[in-house]
Amino acid sequence: MLALLGIMKKILLLIIFASSNALSETLWEKYLALPNDLNAEVVEVIEYSEGAIPEGYRYWIPDLLILQNQVNSGSKDSLCLAIRLMLSSDGGLREDLIALIARSIRINPSQFLTVTEQIALSDAVLMRILNMPGLEYVDRLGAQNYELSQRVSALRSVKEPSLLKLVEKYSGMVRLRK
């Protein structure tokens, strides 16, 4: 009987702990738990509740993969979220988000054009995104140029009349490496 009470006490403590953690979830953590468009719309910063990631970390890279999956699947709200987060970030996180956003160009160039036009990114920010091949291309000049040229091809595949000026502008901003 005492063993059963001990087990029930542990279960009760786990339930209390789990519910208190759920209540203290940040908006970013809620998005990660359910990465739908509604949750994407409300996130403004990447922040974690205490103990959610290892101490000393500002963000957890695998969490960015969830965002990447949503962007790659065509979620406009997740692409907007990635851009919002990038604009409010610095350092390594900003670089990771720029690469994440840049990967979306080949997958859904029309959406990339539409969203970046709506957000009205500066030319400097656009240049960083358009020319960010990603960490996987470091020290691979040929692969970098191939990726960048494929982005230009993807952009030029967009034939929607309202986006043609952007297609030309963005295509002209891509710089192949020498």
User: In angstroms, rounded to a whole number, what is the distance separating the alpha carbons of residues 155 and 122?
Assistant: 18
Q: Is 74 left (phi over 0), alpha (psi -120 to 50) or beta?
A: left
What pLDDT tens digit does each residue of the chain (178 aa) get? 656 555 655 554 445 444 444 558 999 999 999 999 999 999 999 999 999 999 888 899 999 999 999 999 999 999 999 999 999 999 999 999 999 999 999 999 999 999 999 999 999 999 999 999 998 999 999 999 999 999 999 999 999 999 999 999 999 999 998 8
Cβ neighbors of 166 (< 8 A, separation 6 or more) are 113, 116, 117
43, 13 Cβ separation under 8 angstroms: no
Give the residue extent of every domain in the chain: 23-173
User: In angstroms, rounded to a whole number, what is the distance separating the alpha carbons of residues 78 and 71?
Assistant: 5
**Furthest-apart CA pair in the chain: how many Å?**
76
User: In angstroms, rounded to a whole number, what is the distance separating the alpha carbons of residues 72 and 49?
Assistant: 27
Which residue reads 């987060």 in tokens?
85
Query: How deeply is 41 buried, as exposed, middle or buried, from its count of CB atoms within 10 A (0-12, 13-18, 19+)?
Result: middle
127, 170 Cβ separation under 8 angstroms: no
| pLDDT for 13 | 41
| pTM for the model | 0.83
| pLDDT for 12 | 46
Q: Within 10 Å of residue 44's Cβ, how many Cβ atoms? A: 11
Q: What is the residue type of 149?
A: S
| pLDDT for 24 | 85
